Amino acid sequence: MKLKFYNITELSEQQYEKYYQKVSPSCRERADRFRQKADAYRHVMGEVLLFSCMEEVLGKVPVDKIERNEYGKPYVKGSDDFFFNISHSGDYVVVVCHNEPVGVDIQEMRTISPAMVKKIFTKEEVTYLASLSEKERERHKIMLWSMKESYIKYLGLGLSREMDTFFVDAKRGKAVDMKDCPPKEAEIFVTLWKENYYLSICTKNPWDQDEIRRQMGI
């Protein structure tokens, strides 16, 4: 597994223009549609990081093979050993590539309204949150949110997947999918990062977490 990240506050307008010329036409098109400059920066830098991963792992950048599934997840068409996923939040863009399907989510700290809590969390997750101190609980809501997102992004199903059909077992670092009988599980690595973010990576099988910590500089 390879992880790359970028802080968009380090990007000057001039550098952005250079990167913009290097990404795919569809990436440029999407970037042009954003009203906020920061959104365009995050989107373009996601593809820049992806290209860099491809260069290192595949020795080439197969731009014409990058497609999106019906829910928007980008993937390399025809590849059965190169998978990737992109996430951005706040100042950061993260790309993870792996030899099996992967989902990544980075989430900046924020408060989650009671209505959102109701919408997002299952009874198992609510029980877990209730076992924590109030201070811990607020952080762990974001942690669970990020973990859940990474699972949805691993599946590639986006908003079509109902939040109450699976739960995250934070203590074991697993997603437990109740749509399957017996429930199917996936691995989720999660860490507090850069003080103000949670970063989660979801895969089917375990992998070397020490190596990823090293790549993240933690």
Q: Where does this chain bind ligand COA (CB under 6 A)?
A: 43, 46, 71-74, 85-88, 103, 105, 120, 145, 148-149, 152-153, 156, 158-159, 163
The residue within the footprint of Mg ion, chosen from 91, 105, 125, 187 (CB under 5 A), is 105
Residue 82's binding partner among ligand COA, Mg ion, none (Cβ under 5 to 8 angstroms by kind) is none
159 or 181: CB nearest ligand COA: 159
Residue 121's binding partner among ligand COA, Mg ion, none (Cβ under 5 to 8 angstroms by kind) is none
Residue 148's binding partner among Mg ion, ligand COA, none (Cβ under 5 to 8 angstroms by kind) is ligand COA
- Which x/- pattern over 135-174 shows residues binding Mg ion (rule: CB under 5 A)? --------------x-------------------------
Give min distance, CB of 152 to ligand COA, in A: 5
3-state SS track over the chain? CEEEEEEHHHCCHHHHHHHHHHCCHHHHHHHHHCCCHHHHHHHHHHHHHHHHHHHHHHCCCCHHHEEECCCCCEEECCCCCCEEEEEEECCEEEEEEECCCEEEEEEECCCCCHHHHHHHCCHHHHHHHHCCCHHHHHHHHHHHHHHHHHHHHHHCCHHHCCHHHEEEECCCCEEEECCCCCCEEEEEEEEEECCCEEEEEEECCCCCHHHHHHHHCC
Q: Is 111 exposed, middle or buried (0-12, 13-18, 19+ CB in 10 A)?
A: exposed
Residue 150's binding partner among ligand COA, Mg ion, none (Cβ under 5 to 8 angstroms by kind) is none
77 or 210: CB nearest ligand COA: 77
**Which window, 103-111, 114-122, 136-144, 180-188, contacts Mg ion (CB under 5 A)?**
103-111
Contacts with Mg ion by CB under 5 A lie at 105, 149
